Amino acid sequence: MPPLAMLLCVFCSSVSAPAPDMAHEAGSIWYRHEVLSGGKHLLRLSTTDFILDSGEWRKHRLIAFAEEFAASTCNGHYKMLKGDRQTTYAATVLFRCSAS
């Protein structure tokens, strides 16, 4: 390969945009996890519905997942700071790891 072509290949690969944050699947929950400043974490959650399902059951699944995720991330020591439910299928949860 000519040196100029090699240089262009290296340049183009080094200035490409970062890969988008991909959602992860855990059972019926899809989530994105972002680490924020000050030890805070943001979870963006969504779920699907089952054949026999209700908004209340989806809410409980989202809350249970958020609490388990926070406990796992923070070795059991966390504080839920805020939770917003955008729809019956989606929510965002903000939590902080605590030192205890």
2-35 pLDDT per residue, tens: 665 665 565 555 555 555 577 888 888 999 999 9
In a domain, 57, yes or no: yes
Per-residue pLDDT at 27: 84
Q: Reduced to 3 states, what is the DSSP secondary structure of residue 40?
A: strand
In a domain, 32, yes or no: yes
In a domain, 43, yes or no: yes
Task: Please count the structural domains in the chain.
Answer: 1
User: What is the domain range of residue 59?
Assistant: 21-97
* Under 8 Å between Cβ of 86 and 70: no
> Token match 């699944």: residue?
61
In a domain, 44, yes or no: yes
- Please work out, in degrees rounded to the nearest 5, the angle formed at the alpha carbon of residue 14 by the alpha carbons of 12 and 17: 90
Between these two residues, 100 and 86, which has the higher pLDDT value? 86
Of all residues in the chain, the percent with pLDDT exceeding 70 is: 79
